[in-house]
């Protein structure tokens, strides 16, 4: 979509909704062209690689255009909606109107529009105005162009203003350097970027246009051109192709990066958890847990926290750049959750400091938020150790892949009634299999085995939650 140049029209750009993400998919528009919007009103929902986020508009006005349909993936910084603020409360737009020709205003009189971020909007510019100076129009136009470039570099989206003929072309410093290195005169380049800014692609296109006639070979020596490859076809009745994007795309990249960066080792142990299952039933009747969800995962999480306290070196990460092992003195416990949008791993911040009822409350909130698709990007950052419960699918165990940046992940299998030797006799007991994968760069076999053995010991004898506390 072409950026509108009317001074009363504001272009709202796709913001960085957290953690340096570079793109987001527009899931749903809540407004249509012609609708009136107010400052702070949610206009659309977008999905990043980590979560779905609602975007509010930062000014009043009337929707002029939606630049992308639902389902489109848009790069951060790209304009997605145009809003006409002429008829609403928009003092900023009025100040941006061109000044009379005989008294051109200084370029720094134009307040930069406030750029939206994840939790609000940028700091509003000062309302202080300088007294206009009388200067030649060409000199003012040059400074206006330079100011517009600087505002763009600073992430502001000031309304575009007409530039007098002969003004310096708009381009960012890296683009100017590229043009200089390639010998391209920017005044001869046709800009295609927002607000008439010359992009790197424009410079390369100018070079290609000049070189194309020179690089054409003589007809007699021209090699036969190969026919373009035919597009791959498939039977739509027998196959369905699903675009890889959003959470699925991020998960795939993270798992490939983890699998081929950290040397994984997985150990297994089968344990009698009959006493743990009895404790779960008792806690459900305890008044301290009224209204809280009590299940085996709660006690498994607590057992892992006890094991980490006894073996703190497991709670670490590998810093490749500094060639250091970073031991964490806190535990942000990740819980792998399957959602309609894919697998996510939100974590409970400072889980090591929580009591059992507090841990139960945090687990409940984490699971319900994930199921409703409301997990925020910040909830999935800075995890240290993860639990994945494959047992809910009836699976005995697995070899889990580490969450990137973490050193260990515990997989919990299905809890089943099995024959088990107990006190010298074969009896039916509740049994499960645990699997611990760890990064062998910083966790050796002894440390990994101790952690897994401690988790199993607590689940076999839950009283160790007290004796080992």
Residues labelled as active-site residues:
440
Q: Give the whole-angstrom CA distance, residue 317 versus residue 331.
A: 12
Strand partners, 66: 81
3-class secondary-structure state, position 428: strand
Residue 216 DSSP SS3? coil
- Only one residue has tokens 């006799």, namely 425
Q: Dump the DSSP string for 172-204.
A: -HHHHHHHHHHT--GGGSPP-SGGGPBPHHHHH
Q: Say whether 133 sits in a helix, a strand or coil.
A: coil
Instruction: Kindly provide the residue ranges of all beta strands, DSSP E only, lying in 293-424, ordered along the sequence.
Output: 316-319, 324-327, 333-335, 337-339, 342-344, 347-348, 385-389, 408-412, 416-422
Question: What residues contact 33, with CB distance under 8 A and at least 6 apart?
Answer: 63, 64, 65, 66
In contact, 429 and 274? CB cutoff 8 Å: yes
Burial grade of 123 (CB within 10 A; 0-12, 13-18, 19 or more): exposed
Rounded to an integer, what distance in angstroms lies between the CA atom of residue 29 and that of residue 45?
7
H or E element at residue 450? helix 445-460
Closest Cα partner for 184 from 164, 222, 211?
211
């Amino acid at each position: 979509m072409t950026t509108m140049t009317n001074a009363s029209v504001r272009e709202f750009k796709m913001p960085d909704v957290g953690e340096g993400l570079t793109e987001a998919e527009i899931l749903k528009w809540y407004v249509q062209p012609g609708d009136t919007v107010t400052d702070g009103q949610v206009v659309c929902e977008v999905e990043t690689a980590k979560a779905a986020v609602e975007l509010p508009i930062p000014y009043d006005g009337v929707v002029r255009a939606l630049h992308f349909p639902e389902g489109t993936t848009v790069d951060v910084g790209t304009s997605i909606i145009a809003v006409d603020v002429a008829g609403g409360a928009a003092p900023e737009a009025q100040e941006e109107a061109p000044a009379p020709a005989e008294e051109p205003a200084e370029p720094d009189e134009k307040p930069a529009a406030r750029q939206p971020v994840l939790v609000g909007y940028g700091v509003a510019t000062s309302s202080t105005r300088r007294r206009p100076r009388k200067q030649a129009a060409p000199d003012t136009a040059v400074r206006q162009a330079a100011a517009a470039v600087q505002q763009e570099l600073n992430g502001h989206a000031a309304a575009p203003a007409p530039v007098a003929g002969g003004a310096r072309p708009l381009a960012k410093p890296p683009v100017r350097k590229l043009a200089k290195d390639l010998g391209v005169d920017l005044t001869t380049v046709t800009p295609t970027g927002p607000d008439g800014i010359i992009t790197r692609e424009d410079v390369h296109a100018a070079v290609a246009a000049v070189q194309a006639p020179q690089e054409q070979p003589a007809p007699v020596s021209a090699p036969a051109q190969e026919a373009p490859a035919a597009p791959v076809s498939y039977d739509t009745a027998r196959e369905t192709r699903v675009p890889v994007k959003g959470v699925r795309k991020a998960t795939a990249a993270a798992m490939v990066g983890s699998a081929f960066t950290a040397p994984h080792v997985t150990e297994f142990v089968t344990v009698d958890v009959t006493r743990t299952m009895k404790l779960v039933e008792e806690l459900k009747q305890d008044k301290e847990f009224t209204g809280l969800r009590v299940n085996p995962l709660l006690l498994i999480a607590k057992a892992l926290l006890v094991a980490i306290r006894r073996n703190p070196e497991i709670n670490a990460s590998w810093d490749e750049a500094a060639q250091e092992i970073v031991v964490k003195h806190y535990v942000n416990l990740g819980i792998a959750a399957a959602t309609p949008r894919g697998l996510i791993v939100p974590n409970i911040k400072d889980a090591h400091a929580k009591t059992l009822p507090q841990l139960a409350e945090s687990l409940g909130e984490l699971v319900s938020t994930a199921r409703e698709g409301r997990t925020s990007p910040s909830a999935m950052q800075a995890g240290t150790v993860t639990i994945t419960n494959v047992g809910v699918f009836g699976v005995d165990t697995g070899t889990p892949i580490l969450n990137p940046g973490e050193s260990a992940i515990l997989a919990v299998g299905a809890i089943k009634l099995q024959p088990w030797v107990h006190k010298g006799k074969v009896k039916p007991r509740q049994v499960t299999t645990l699997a611990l994968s760890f990064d062998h760069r910083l966790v050796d076999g002894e440390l990994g085995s101790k952690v897994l053995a401690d988790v199993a010991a607590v689940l076999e004898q839950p009283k160790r939650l007290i004796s080992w506390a």
